[in-house]
Amino acid sequence: MINLGDVRSICKVFGDQNNNKTSMKKGIILLGFCGLIVVGGLHAKRKFYDPNHRLDKVKTEVKKLANKSEIKNGDLIFQTSLSGQSKAIELATKSKYSHCGIIYSDNGQHYVFEAVQPIKLTPLDKWIARGKDGHYVIKRLKNANQILTTETIQKMRQEGDKFKGKNYDLTFEWSDDKIYCSELIWKIYKRATGLEIGKLEKLSDFDLTDEVVKQKMKERYGHKIPLNEVVISPKAVFNSELLETINVN
């Protein structure tokens, strides 16, 4: 990005050198050009780096999705997380989607039930704005109208309440003591509907050869990596044949 301080310095130098009428005209044009660069730079900075501007944009987008009925209770949403472990997950699973959650709606407001620290409901707009480039994919059970009845959604939320407030599972263990994002989705759907959203795998099924992955594994497990641990990845949930894509931004 252009350094605005450098632009101002350049403009000042040219201004100081304009000692005659011809040079002055050129200087005025140049100063005007420099002004455009400064204004453009400030706009670009706000657009790409100002979190409030990004959140405002996402809020508008969420309203449009809601108006088009592209958000329903029980929908699943995926993104590329900017967390410290995201790159390792992407490399190990060979997928750019490293985080996911379940969408719920309350009184016209939309939330994502997600496994972070701690497990909680997060406003949908803030959840989207938090991901890489604000990109996301929304998926839905293919026969959602038949399966995700009001009673079933209520049961899903009751199952989720059992996890709310618990710690995020940094070691991806298959237990209810702590829990990670795709595990949260899988267990809620399994226990409330009987459906398995995604194929269960073992840690050894993933590509653990990249140095980024190795470093993260060593950080979490030391030299005792539980290769036989049952896991469910965001990729496995994303690729489930039971789901259909509703929206990709």
> Quick check: 216 pLDDT over 70?
yes
State the pLDDT at residue 51: 55
* pLDDT tens digits, one per residue of 42-62: 344 444 345 567 788 898 989
Give the mean pLDDT of 201-219.
97
Question: What is the Cα–Cα distance from 178 to 183, expressed in whole angstroms?
Answer: 10
> Quick check: 228 pLDDT over 80?
yes
89 contacts 172 by C-beta, under 8 angstroms: no
Q: Residues of the chain with pLDDT > 90: what percent?
A: 71
State the pLDDT at residue 70: 82
State the pLDDT at residue 66: 83
State the pLDDT at residue 163: 98
* pLDDT tens digits, one per residue of 135-155: 999 999 999 999 999 999 999
pTM of the model: 0.80
Give the mean pLDDT of 65-87.
92
> Quick check: 105 pLDDT over 90?
yes
Give the mean pLDDT of 85-114.
96
Question: What is the Cα–Cα distance from 179 to 241, expressed in whole angstroms?
Answer: 24
> Quick check: 40 pLDDT over 50?
no
State the pLDDT at residue 98: 98
* Higher pLDDT among residues 20 and 208, named by residue: 208
Domains of the chain and CATH, by start: 4-49 (no CATH), 69-248 (3.90.1720.10)
Band (21; pLDDT cuts 50, 70, 90) = low
Q: What SS3 class is residue 134?
A: helix
> Quick check: 220 pLDDT over 50?
yes
Q: Which of 198, 96, 109, 107 is nearest to 137 (CA)?
A: 96
Half-sphere exposure of 97 (CA within 13 A, CB side): 22
> Quick check: 30 pLDDT over 80?
no
Classify residue 130 as exposed, middle or buried by CB count within 10 Å of its CB (0-12, 13-18, 19+): buried
> Quick check: 178 pLDDT over 80?
yes
State the pLDDT at residue 38: 40
Band (199; pLDDT cuts 50, 70, 90) = very high
State the pLDDT at residue 20: 55
